């Protein structure tokens, strides 16, 4: 958890422990305390401000936590907001239980209670309240939402818990309510003391400028906020689609440095959007002709929008920009590219946003060519696999044994990415020279198109064209999808088809995935639910009209492949 300075174990198990400046760890130590509610004293009407002490302390939190707040101060609108805050958290927690096959003891009410307490404790200052998506993302990274670790149900954010030791105050955490409130208090005191919650992810450091550090050499994990942001996006979209949208306005955020700004056309159109007079499409369209002359104001609009809406604005401005895109200020183009890049690949809109991103990147001079994957040999006796590029991230699966060969997909801040959310320390990996180069070429496929499908729709999302040896597979797949299109009388969008081995690993695909051979397509049929599409393909294959193969049902799409043998699964 943020900025707790303790000794920790290095990633290489056979290396002597030298690090003295680690911050986030996920190994918990069991306590013998029986959970019970903390005692509360008389209600004291007061307004508090963030501490000016050197760093957050448990005693500071304990004193604040045992001083009750008066919930009668909440307005009807504020009460409704925190009820929706709780529902949003609970919907995602329920998903975790059903998808991961585990059971968490933390609840949406714990998150809402902590947020409500923090809001009142700081004098109704919403800028000191962590957004629910942010809190859920960190709890997921730290303890799988309270499922991993012996004391995770009471301390789901692993505050004060390290690989080799546990801070003494952890045993004083009585229950999940107190543990979650402790996290909200730490964030308000150490991370939101000099910025608002909306500004937090722009530069995830505490009031002393300390970031989530990797080692005592001062190497920082600057990718953390990007990873949290992407996870927030997924959480928000899931909650929105499952009946947990915020319908109330966020309580006004207090700002101590607010200044009046002169009227400008960007501010005028944004006010119309924020008041509900126009929608996102109208906002983005109106900003297009201003993207050159009012760049700084447009960047401010991105900052004002909730994290979950920024990629929507980027998409609208690109989609409606047309030839005007070329005149956009470079800073605006870069911001649009960054926001489009944050859309997760599992999103239904991923393909569309990546098409728009390519337009923007071309105007920025093109993306840097990604190096081909490299091979490495593990030199430690065992090497931990982390969920992110840093020792602060939790472990992800079993450690890799000495001498094992790994494929390196990306290197960042002294860490190698070897899969989706799978990182290892570069200190304990010896690179090996590879003789063969990737035979695949970047660019568009020359596969013949069918009536309703283009070859480019089957190319890999990393820009790699389908290899010539797989052309027959693509032609057959096109044929089957044409049959399905005719039978259903609706257009088909291909979310994913061919994947290179490296991209397949990066997105968590199976080693024997049919996507590797351009035999598979993840599809969405306009006007039909995935279940309806699944049922139709099942009927067509049974009738012999479509090639028998793999058929998988997912929440937002259907997987179909032409492997020739029957395979079925339901991950909806």
Residue with tokens 């991961």: 100
Residue 275: its pLDDT value, please?
A: 85
Same domain, 351 and 280: yes
Cα 274 to Cα 284: distance, rounded to the nearest angstrom: 13
Cα 499 to Cα 414: distance, rounded to the nearest angstrom: 27
Cα 166 to Cα 164: distance, rounded to the nearest angstrom: 7
pLDDT digits (tens, 9 = 90+) for 51-95: 344 468 898 899 889 887 888 888 898 999 999 999 999 999 998
Nearest to 56 by CA among 237, 264, 207: 207
CATH number, domain with residue 418: 2.30.30.40
86-89 CB contacts, 8 Å cutoff, 24+ apart: 86/111, 86/112, 87/243, 87/244, 88/132, 88/133, 88/239, 88/244, 88/246, 89/132, 89/135, 89/136
Q: Is residue 152 part of a domain?
A: yes
Strand partners, 559: 522, 552
Same domain, 508 and 535: yes
Which helix (H) or strand (E) covers residue 551, if one does?
strand 550-554
Residue 197: its pLDDT value, please?
A: 59
Nearest to 191 by CA among 304, 59, 24: 24
Locate 232 and state its tokens: 């927030």
Nearest to 355 by CA among 427, 444, 278: 444
What residue numbers bound the domain in which 332 lies? Answer: 265-363
DSSP type of residue 170: G
Contacts (Cβ under 8 Å, ≥6 apart) of 472: none
Question: Could you say which residues of the chain have pLDDT below 50?
Answer: 1-54, 206-221, 253-262, 344-348, 367-372, 434-446
Q: Is residue 37 part of a domain?
A: no
Q: Is residue 26 part of a domain?
A: no
Phi-psi region of 413 (alpha: psi -120 to 50; beta: other; left: phi over 0): left
Strand partners, 554: 571
Same domain, 178 and 116: yes
pLDDT digits (tens, 9 = 90+) for 398-433: 888 877 778 787 788 788 888 766 788 988 888 765
CB 333 within 8 Å of CB 364 = yes
Q: How many domains does the chain have?
A: 4
Rounded (5°) CA angle 386-389-393: 45
Cα 60 to Cα 99: distance, rounded to the nearest angstrom: 38
DSSP type of residue 423: E
CB 156 within 8 Å of CB 139 = yes
Residue with tokens 């494929």: 407
Same domain, 380 and 341: no
Same domain, 349 and 386: no
Same domain, 133 and 158: yes
Residue 537: its pLDDT value, please?
A: 96
Same domain, 550 and 517: yes
Same domain, 335 and 474: no
Residue 412: its pLDDT value, please?
A: 80
Same domain, 336 and 475: no
Same domain, 151 and 284: no
Alpha carbon distance, N-terminus to C-terminus of the chain = 33
pLDDT digits (tens, 9 = 90+) for 239-269: 999 999 888 777 754 433 334 444 588 988 9
Q: Is residue 44 part of a domain?
A: no
Cα 489 to Cα 452: distance, rounded to the nearest angstrom: 12
Residue 32: its pLDDT value, please?
A: 28
Helix %, strand %, coil % of the chain (to 5): 40, 10, 45
Q: Is residue 317 part of a domain?
A: yes
Q: Is residue 43 part of a domain?
A: no
Q: Is residue 328 part of a domain?
A: yes
Q: Is residue 296 part of a domain?
A: yes
Same domain, 202 and 344: no
Q: Alpha helix locations (H) across 444-551?
A: 471-488, 501-506, 530-542
* Boundary residue ending a domain (363, 390, 416): 363
Contacts (Cβ under 8 Å, ≥6 apart) of 30: 150, 151
With H, G, I as helix, E, B as strand and everything else as coil, classify residue 549: coil
CATH number, domain with residue 493: 3.30.1380.10
Q: How far is CA 202 from the centre of its chain?
A: 15
Same domain, 90 and 228: yes
CB 332 within 8 Å of CB 223 = no
């Amino acid at each position: 958890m943020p900025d707790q300075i303790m000794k920790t174990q290095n990633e290489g198990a056979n290396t002597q422990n030298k690090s003295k400046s680690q911050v986030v760890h996920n190994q918990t130590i069991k306590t013998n305390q029986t959970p019970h509610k903390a005692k509360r004293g008389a209600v004291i009407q007061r307004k508090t401000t963030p501490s000016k002490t050197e760093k957050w302390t448990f005693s500071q939190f304990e004193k604040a936590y045992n001083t009750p707040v008066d919930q009668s101060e909440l307005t009807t609108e504020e009460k409704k907001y925190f009820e929706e805050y709780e529902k949003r958290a609970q919907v995602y927690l329920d998903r975790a239980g059903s998808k991961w096959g585990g059971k968490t003891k933390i609840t949406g009410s714990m998150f809402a209670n902590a947020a409500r307490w923090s809001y009142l404790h700081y004098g109704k200052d919403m800028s000191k309240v962590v957004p629910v998506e942010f809190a859920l993302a960190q709890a997921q990274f730290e303890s799988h939402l309270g499922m991993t670790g012996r004391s995770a149900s009471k301390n789901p954010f692993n505050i004060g818990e390290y690989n080799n030791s546990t801070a003494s105050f952890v045993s004083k955490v009585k229950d999940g309510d107190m543990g979650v409130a402790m996290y909200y208090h730490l964030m308000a005191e150490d991370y939101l003391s000099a910025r608002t919650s909306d500004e937090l992810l722009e530069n995830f450091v505490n009031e002393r400028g300390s970031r989530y550090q990797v080692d005592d050499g001062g190497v920082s994990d600057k990718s953390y906020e990007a990873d949290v942001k992407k996870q927030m996006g997924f959480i928000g979209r899931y909650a929105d689609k499952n009946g947990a949208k915020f319908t109330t306005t966020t309580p006004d955020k207090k700002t101590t440095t607010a200044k009046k700004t002169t009227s400008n056309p960007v501010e005028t159109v944004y006010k119309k959007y924020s008041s509900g007079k126009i929608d996102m499409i109208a906002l983005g369209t109106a900003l297009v002709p201003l993207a050159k002359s009012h760049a700084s104001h447009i960047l401010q609009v991105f900052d004002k929008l909730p994290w979950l809406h920024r990629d929507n604005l980027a998409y609208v401005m690109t989609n409606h920009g047309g030839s005007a895109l070329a005149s956009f200020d470079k800073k605006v183009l870069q911001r649009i590219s960054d926001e489009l890049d944050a859309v997760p690949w599992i999103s239904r809109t991923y393909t569309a946003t990546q098409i728009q991103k390519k337009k923007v990147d071309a105007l920025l001079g093109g993306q840097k060519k990604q190096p081909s994957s490299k091979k490495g040999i593990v030199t430690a006796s065992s090497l931990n696999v982390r969920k992110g590029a840093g020792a602060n991230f939790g472990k992800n699966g079993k450690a890799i044994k000495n001498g094992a060969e790994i494929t390196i997909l990306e290197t960042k801040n002294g860490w190698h990415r070897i899969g989706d959310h799978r990182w290892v320390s570069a200190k304990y990996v010896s690179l090996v020279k590879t003789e063969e180069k990737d035979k695949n070429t970047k660019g568009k496929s020359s596969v013949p198109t069918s009536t309703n499908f283009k070859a480019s729709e089957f190319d890999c999302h990393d820009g790699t064209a389908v290899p010539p040896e797989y052309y027959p597979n693509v032609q057959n797949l096109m044929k089957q999808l044409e049959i399905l299109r005719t039978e259903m009388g609706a257009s088909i969008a291909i979310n994913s088809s061919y994947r290179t081995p490296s991209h397949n690993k990066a997105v968590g695909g199976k080693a024997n995935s049919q996507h590797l051979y351009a035999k598979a397509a993840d599809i969405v049929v306009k006007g039909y639910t995935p279940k309806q599409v699944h049922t139709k393909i099942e009927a067509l294959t049974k009738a012999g009209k479509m090639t028998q193969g793999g058929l998988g049902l997912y929440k937002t799409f259907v997987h179909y492949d032409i492997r020739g043998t029957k395979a079925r699964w339901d991950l909806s």
